[in-house]
Structure 1
Amino acid sequence: MGRDENVGKLERVDWLRNHIRVRIVSQELKGGALFFKKGVVMDVVGPGVCDICVDESRELVQGVDQDLLEAALPKRGCPVLVLRGRHEGVYGTLLERDSEKKTGLVRDADTHELLNVKLKQVAEYTGDPSDIGY
Structure 2
Amino acid sequence: DDGRGGRRRGEEAEGVGDKHKDRGGRGEGGKKGRRREDDGGRDSKRRQLEAPSGEGRKDRKGGKGSSHREESQEESEDEAGPALPKRSWLAPYIKVRVVDKKVRGGRLYLKKGTVVDVHPGGLCDVAMDEGRDVIQLGQAALETVVPKEVGAAVLVVEGALRGSKARVQAKTAEVCAVQLESDFSIQRLLLDEVAMFVGPMDDD
TM range (shorter): 0.7 to 0.9
Match of 1:118 in 2: 190
Query: Which structure 2 residue ranges, 5 or more long, are not aligned?
Result: 1-72
Any gaps of 5 or more consecutive residues in structure 1?
none
The total of aligned residue pairs comes to: 127
TM-score (norm 2): 0.58
Partner residue of 2:111? 37
Which residue does the alignment assign to 1:60?
134
Task: Kindly indicate whether residue 146 of structure 2 is the aligned counterpart of residue 73 of structure 1.
Answer: yes
Comparing both structures, which one devotes a greater share of its residues to strand? Answer: 1
Percent of aligned pairs with the same residue? 29
Q: Which has the larger radius of gyration?
A: 2
Distance 1:10 1:95 in 2: 35
Encode CA deviations 1:14-42: one digit per residue, 9 max, x unaligned: 00000000000001211111011000001
Q: Calculate the aligned-residue CA RMSD, in Å.
A: 1.6
Contact 2:146 2:154 in 1 (8 A): no
Task: Give the helix-richer structure, 1 or 2.
Answer: 2
Alignment of 1:1-134 (within 5 A): 1=73, 2-3=76-77, 4-6=80-82, 9=83, 11-61=85-135, 63-77=136-150, 78-99=152-173, 102-130=174-202, 133=203
Task: Give the C-alpha shift of residue 11 in structure 1.
Answer: 4.2
Instruction: Name the CA distance, whole Å, in 1 between partners of 2:175 and 2:149.
Output: 12
Contact 2:154 2:197 in 1 (8 A): yes
Alpha-carbon contact 2:156-2:195 (below 8 Å) kept: yes
Q: TM-score, normalised by structure 1?
A: 0.86
Name the amino acid aligned to 2:154. Answer: V
